[in-house]
Amino acid sequence: MKQIPSIERSIAQPHKLGELRQAQKDWRNDPDVLTRLTRRLSTTLSLETQLGIVADELGEIVPFDSLNYRHRIARQDFVFASGLGGQHKCEYRLNLEGVSYGTLTLYRRKKFSEEELEGIETILGVVICPMRNACHFLTIEQAALTDSLTGIPNKRALDDNLLRASQLSARHEESYSLILCDLDHFKTVNDNHGHVVGDHLLQQAAEGIERALRTSDSVYRFGGEEFAIVLPHTSDQDARDVADRIRKAIASICVDCGDGKLSVTASCGVATHLGNETPEQWLARADDALYHAKHAGRNRTQVFAAIG
Protein backbone atom coordinates (compact mmCIF):
# COMPACT_ATOMS: atom_id res chain seq x y z
CA MET A 1 0.00 0.00 0.00
CA LYS A 2 1.33 3.46 -0.93
CA GLN A 3 2.22 5.53 2.09
CA ILE A 4 0.82 9.07 2.15
CA PRO A 5 3.19 11.62 3.65
CA SER A 6 1.94 13.24 6.83
CA ILE A 7 0.48 16.75 6.68
CA GLU A 8 3.14 17.98 9.10
CA ARG A 9 5.96 16.81 6.78
CA SER A 10 4.46 18.23 3.60
CA ILE A 11 4.08 21.78 4.89
CA ALA A 12 7.09 24.06 5.24
CA GLN A 13 8.00 24.74 8.87
CA PRO A 14 8.29 28.51 9.53
CA HIS A 15 11.04 28.10 12.10
CA LYS A 16 13.10 26.05 9.63
CA LEU A 17 12.72 28.75 6.97
CA GLY A 18 13.81 31.30 9.54
CA GLU A 19 16.90 29.25 10.32
CA LEU A 20 17.67 29.06 6.61
CA ARG A 21 17.37 32.83 6.20
CA GLN A 22 19.62 33.37 9.21
CA ALA A 23 22.17 30.88 7.86
CA GLN A 24 22.18 32.72 4.54
CA LYS A 25 22.69 36.03 6.34
CA ASP A 26 25.54 34.57 8.41
CA TRP A 27 27.11 33.09 5.28
CA ARG A 28 27.13 36.49 3.57
CA ASN A 29 28.25 38.54 6.55
CA ASP A 30 30.35 36.15 8.64
CA PRO A 31 33.68 37.86 9.39
CA ASP A 32 35.45 34.51 9.70
CA VAL A 33 38.24 34.50 7.10
CA LEU A 34 37.72 30.90 5.96
CA THR A 35 33.99 31.40 5.45
CA ARG A 36 34.60 34.65 3.59
CA LEU A 37 37.31 33.06 1.44
CA THR A 38 35.11 30.07 0.59
CA ARG A 39 32.21 32.36 -0.29
CA ARG A 40 34.33 34.56 -2.56
CA LEU A 41 35.93 31.61 -4.36
CA SER A 42 32.51 30.05 -5.01
CA THR A 43 31.47 33.04 -7.14
CA THR A 44 33.84 32.36 -10.03
CA LEU A 45 35.42 29.61 -12.14
CA SER A 46 38.13 31.93 -13.44
CA LEU A 47 41.46 30.64 -12.15
CA GLU A 48 43.01 34.09 -12.50
CA THR A 49 40.22 35.68 -10.47
CA GLN A 50 40.46 32.98 -7.81
CA LEU A 51 44.20 33.53 -7.44
CA GLY A 52 43.59 37.25 -7.02
CA ILE A 53 41.13 36.47 -4.23
CA VAL A 54 43.62 34.11 -2.57
CA ALA A 55 46.37 36.76 -2.74
CA ASP A 56 43.99 39.34 -1.25
CA GLU A 57 42.74 37.18 1.63
CA LEU A 58 46.07 35.54 2.38
CA GLY A 59 47.85 38.88 2.51
CA GLU A 60 45.53 39.98 5.32
CA ILE A 61 46.72 37.07 7.47
CA VAL A 62 50.34 36.44 6.43
CA PRO A 63 52.01 39.49 4.85
CA PHE A 64 54.12 38.73 1.77
CA ASP A 65 55.85 40.72 -0.98
CA SER A 66 54.92 38.60 -3.99
CA LEU A 67 52.93 35.53 -4.98
CA ASN A 68 53.64 33.32 -7.98
CA TYR A 69 51.55 30.45 -9.34
CA ARG A 70 52.45 28.13 -12.22
CA HIS A 71 50.59 25.24 -13.81
CA ARG A 72 50.59 23.41 -17.12
CA ILE A 73 47.03 23.25 -18.46
CA ALA A 74 46.14 21.71 -21.83
CA ARG A 75 49.70 22.00 -23.17
CA GLN A 76 49.91 25.66 -22.16
CA ASP A 77 51.73 27.30 -19.26
CA PHE A 78 49.44 29.24 -16.94
CA VAL A 79 51.30 31.84 -14.87
CA PHE A 80 49.91 34.23 -12.28
CA ALA A 81 52.07 36.78 -10.43
CA SER A 82 51.17 39.38 -7.82
CA GLY A 83 53.63 41.79 -6.19
CA LEU A 84 57.40 42.04 -6.45
CA GLY A 85 60.50 41.09 -4.50
CA GLY A 86 61.50 38.99 -1.52
CA GLN A 87 64.50 36.69 -1.09
CA HIS A 88 62.79 34.29 1.33
CA LYS A 89 60.19 31.94 -0.06
CA CYS A 90 57.82 29.14 0.81
CA GLU A 91 56.64 26.87 -2.00
CA TYR A 92 53.66 24.52 -2.13
CA ARG A 93 52.77 21.90 -4.72
CA LEU A 94 48.98 21.82 -4.81
CA ASN A 95 47.84 18.20 -5.00
CA LEU A 96 44.41 16.68 -4.51
CA GLU A 97 43.64 12.96 -4.79
CA GLY A 98 46.99 12.34 -6.46
CA VAL A 99 46.53 15.02 -9.13
CA SER A 100 48.69 18.15 -9.36
CA TYR A 101 47.03 21.55 -9.68
CA GLY A 102 50.12 23.69 -9.91
CA THR A 103 52.73 25.25 -7.67
CA LEU A 104 52.17 28.33 -5.52
CA THR A 105 55.16 30.26 -4.13
CA LEU A 106 55.21 33.18 -1.70
CA TYR A 107 58.19 35.55 -1.40
CA ARG A 108 59.11 38.23 1.12
CA ARG A 109 62.16 39.94 2.60
CA LYS A 110 61.61 38.44 6.07
CA LYS A 111 61.71 34.72 6.75
CA PHE A 112 58.33 33.03 7.30
CA SER A 113 57.73 31.73 10.84
CA GLU A 114 56.42 28.24 11.59
CA GLU A 115 53.14 29.71 12.79
CA GLU A 116 52.77 31.65 9.53
CA LEU A 117 53.50 28.54 7.48
CA GLU A 118 50.76 26.69 9.35
CA GLY A 119 48.37 29.54 8.56
CA ILE A 120 49.27 29.42 4.85
CA GLU A 121 48.70 25.66 4.77
CA THR A 122 45.28 26.13 6.39
CA ILE A 123 44.30 28.63 3.71
CA LEU A 124 45.56 26.37 0.91
CA GLY A 125 43.52 23.50 2.33
CA VAL A 126 40.42 25.61 1.73
CA VAL A 127 41.31 26.87 -1.74
CA ILE A 128 42.47 23.62 -3.35
CA CYS A 129 38.97 22.34 -4.25
CA PRO A 130 37.77 25.59 -5.91
CA MET A 131 41.10 25.84 -7.74
CA ARG A 132 40.72 22.26 -8.97
CA ASN A 133 37.31 23.15 -10.39
CA ALA A 134 38.75 26.26 -12.05
CA CYS A 135 41.58 24.20 -13.59
CA HIS A 136 39.06 21.70 -14.96
CA PHE A 137 36.95 24.52 -16.40
CA LEU A 138 40.00 26.06 -18.05
CA THR A 139 40.93 22.66 -19.49
CA ILE A 140 37.47 22.36 -21.06
CA GLU A 141 37.74 25.89 -22.47
CA GLN A 142 41.15 25.13 -23.95
CA ALA A 143 39.90 21.87 -25.47
CA ALA A 144 37.28 23.83 -27.42
CA LEU A 145 40.09 25.96 -28.89
CA THR A 146 42.54 23.12 -29.60
CA ASP A 147 42.96 20.90 -32.65
CA SER A 148 42.67 17.31 -31.43
CA LEU A 149 45.18 15.89 -33.91
CA THR A 150 48.11 18.29 -33.61
CA GLY A 151 47.46 19.73 -30.16
CA ILE A 152 47.85 23.31 -31.40
CA PRO A 153 45.08 25.96 -31.37
CA ASN A 154 42.33 25.57 -33.98
CA LYS A 155 40.53 27.95 -36.35
CA ARG A 156 38.20 29.18 -33.62
CA ALA A 157 41.22 30.28 -31.60
CA LEU A 158 42.72 31.85 -34.73
CA ASP A 159 39.57 33.91 -35.30
CA ASP A 160 39.80 35.26 -31.74
CA ASN A 161 43.49 36.13 -32.09
CA LEU A 162 43.08 37.76 -35.51
CA LEU A 163 40.42 40.07 -34.10
CA ARG A 164 42.60 40.95 -31.13
CA ALA A 165 45.70 41.46 -33.31
CA SER A 166 43.75 43.64 -35.77
CA GLN A 167 42.55 45.88 -32.96
CA LEU A 168 46.04 46.19 -31.43
CA SER A 169 47.61 46.90 -34.81
CA ALA A 170 45.10 49.66 -35.57
CA ARG A 171 45.20 51.17 -32.07
CA HIS A 172 48.97 51.27 -31.62
CA GLU A 173 50.00 51.46 -35.30
CA GLU A 174 52.23 48.42 -34.89
CA SER A 175 53.07 45.80 -37.51
CA TYR A 176 51.31 42.45 -37.19
CA SER A 177 51.89 39.86 -39.89
CA LEU A 178 50.02 36.71 -40.84
CA ILE A 179 51.43 33.64 -42.59
CA LEU A 180 49.29 30.96 -44.22
CA CYS A 181 51.32 27.78 -44.75
CA ASP A 182 50.06 24.88 -46.87
CA LEU A 183 51.74 21.49 -47.31
CA ASP A 184 52.31 20.86 -51.02
CA HIS A 185 50.57 17.89 -52.71
CA PHE A 186 49.29 16.60 -49.38
CA LYS A 187 46.36 14.79 -50.99
CA THR A 188 48.91 12.58 -52.75
CA VAL A 189 50.38 11.65 -49.37
CA ASN A 190 46.99 10.44 -48.11
CA ASP A 191 46.18 8.67 -51.38
CA ASN A 192 49.51 6.84 -51.64
CA HIS A 193 50.38 6.22 -47.98
CA GLY A 194 47.10 6.40 -46.07
CA HIS A 195 45.70 8.77 -43.48
CA VAL A 196 47.77 7.35 -40.61
CA VAL A 197 50.96 8.51 -42.33
CA GLY A 198 49.27 11.76 -43.33
CA ASP A 199 48.18 12.46 -39.76
CA HIS A 200 51.68 11.74 -38.47
CA LEU A 201 53.11 14.15 -41.03
CA LEU A 202 50.68 16.87 -39.90
CA GLN A 203 51.73 16.35 -36.30
CA GLN A 204 55.39 16.60 -37.26
CA ALA A 205 54.70 19.73 -39.31
CA ALA A 206 52.96 21.42 -36.37
CA GLU A 207 55.91 20.64 -34.10
CA GLY A 208 58.38 21.87 -36.73
CA ILE A 209 56.52 25.15 -37.15
CA GLU A 210 56.42 25.72 -33.37
CA ARG A 211 60.18 25.20 -33.14
CA ALA A 212 60.74 27.78 -35.88
CA LEU A 213 58.82 30.52 -34.05
CA ARG A 214 59.48 32.96 -31.23
CA THR A 215 57.59 32.57 -27.96
CA SER A 216 55.49 35.63 -28.84
CA ASP A 217 54.33 34.05 -32.14
CA SER A 218 51.40 31.65 -32.36
CA VAL A 219 50.52 28.83 -34.78
CA TYR A 220 47.06 27.42 -35.57
CA ARG A 221 45.72 24.56 -37.63
CA PHE A 222 43.62 26.48 -40.13
CA GLY A 223 42.12 23.41 -41.76
CA GLY A 224 43.24 20.23 -43.50
CA GLU A 225 46.93 20.60 -44.31
CA GLU A 226 46.96 24.37 -43.81
CA PHE A 227 48.44 26.28 -40.87
CA ALA A 228 48.21 29.94 -39.87
CA ILE A 229 50.89 31.84 -37.96
CA VAL A 230 50.35 35.23 -36.30
CA LEU A 231 53.49 37.34 -35.78
CA PRO A 232 53.25 40.39 -33.45
CA HIS A 233 55.55 43.37 -34.09
CA THR A 234 56.74 41.90 -37.39
CA SER A 235 57.07 43.61 -40.77
CA ASP A 236 56.30 41.86 -44.05
CA GLN A 237 59.98 41.30 -44.86
CA ASP A 238 60.71 39.88 -41.41
CA ALA A 239 57.61 37.70 -41.80
CA ARG A 240 59.00 36.45 -45.13
CA ASP A 241 62.15 35.35 -43.28
CA VAL A 242 60.02 33.50 -40.72
CA ALA A 243 58.00 31.85 -43.50
CA ASP A 244 61.18 30.67 -45.21
CA ARG A 245 62.41 29.30 -41.88
CA ILE A 246 59.12 27.44 -41.50
CA ARG A 247 59.38 25.97 -44.99
CA LYS A 248 62.91 24.82 -44.25
CA ALA A 249 61.76 23.17 -41.00
CA ILE A 250 58.96 21.32 -42.81
CA ALA A 251 61.25 20.21 -45.65
CA SER A 252 63.59 18.64 -43.07
CA ILE A 253 60.85 16.33 -41.76
CA CYS A 254 61.30 12.71 -42.79
CA VAL A 255 58.59 10.15 -42.06
CA ASP A 256 59.27 6.40 -42.23
CA CYS A 257 56.54 4.77 -44.35
CA GLY A 258 57.85 1.24 -44.02
CA ASP A 259 58.84 0.91 -47.66
CA GLY A 260 60.74 4.19 -47.74
CA LYS A 261 61.08 7.72 -46.38
CA LEU A 262 58.57 10.49 -47.00
CA SER A 263 59.12 14.24 -46.94
CA VAL A 264 57.12 17.22 -48.18
CA THR A 265 57.54 20.88 -49.04
CA ALA A 266 55.32 23.82 -48.15
CA SER A 267 54.11 27.07 -49.68
CA CYS A 268 53.53 30.24 -47.67
CA GLY A 269 51.54 33.42 -48.15
CA VAL A 270 52.35 36.52 -46.08
CA ALA A 271 50.25 39.61 -45.36
CA THR A 272 50.87 42.45 -42.91
CA HIS A 273 47.83 44.09 -41.35
CA LEU A 274 46.82 47.35 -43.04
CA GLY A 275 45.21 50.24 -41.19
CA ASN A 276 41.67 49.46 -40.12
CA GLU A 277 41.04 46.40 -42.28
CA THR A 278 38.93 43.62 -40.79
CA PRO A 279 40.36 40.22 -39.82
CA GLU A 280 38.50 38.73 -42.79
CA GLN A 281 40.19 41.15 -45.20
CA TRP A 282 43.58 40.48 -43.64
CA LEU A 283 43.08 36.74 -43.92
CA ALA A 284 41.89 37.06 -47.52
CA ARG A 285 45.09 38.88 -48.51
CA ALA A 286 47.27 36.20 -46.91
CA ASP A 287 45.21 33.56 -48.72
CA ASP A 288 45.69 35.44 -52.00
CA ALA A 289 49.46 35.48 -51.46
CA LEU A 290 49.37 31.73 -50.74
CA TYR A 291 47.42 31.15 -53.96
CA HIS A 292 50.11 32.97 -55.94
CA ALA A 293 52.85 30.94 -54.23
CA LYS A 294 51.04 27.75 -55.25
CA HIS A 295 50.39 29.00 -58.78
CA ALA A 296 54.06 29.95 -59.20
CA GLY A 297 55.19 26.37 -58.65
CA ARG A 298 54.86 25.73 -54.88
CA ASN A 299 57.69 25.37 -52.36
CA ARG A 300 58.04 29.13 -52.07
CA THR A 301 56.97 32.20 -50.08
CA GLN A 302 54.85 34.98 -51.53
CA VAL A 303 54.28 38.34 -49.79
CA PHE A 304 51.06 40.17 -50.61
CA ALA A 305 52.01 43.27 -52.59
CA ALA A 306 49.99 46.17 -51.14
CA ILE A 307 49.42 48.88 -53.74
CA GLY A 308 49.76 52.48 -52.68
Distances 163 to 147, 279, 290 between C-alpha atoms, Å: 19, 6, 21
DSSP 8-state secondary structure symbol assigned to residue 148: T
Write phi, then psi, for 188 (nearest 5 degrees): -65, -35
DSSP one-letter string for 27-62: HHH---HHHHHHHHHTT---HHHHHHHHHHHHHHHS
Concerning whether 225 is annotated as a catalytic residue, the answer is yes
What is the C-alpha to C-alpha distance for residues 22 and 41, in angstroms, rounded to an integer?
A: 21
Distances 233 to 178, 216, 272, 302 between C-alpha atoms, Å: 11, 9, 10, 19
> Are the C-beta atoms of 249 and 191 separated by less than 8 Å?
no
Query: 57, 116, 225, 226: which is the annotated catalytic residue?
Result: 225
Environment class of 113 (CB within 10 Å of its CB; exposed 0-12, middle 13-18, buried 19+): exposed
> Are the C-beta atoms of 209 and 271 separated by less than 8 Å?
no
**Which residues are designated catalytic?**
225
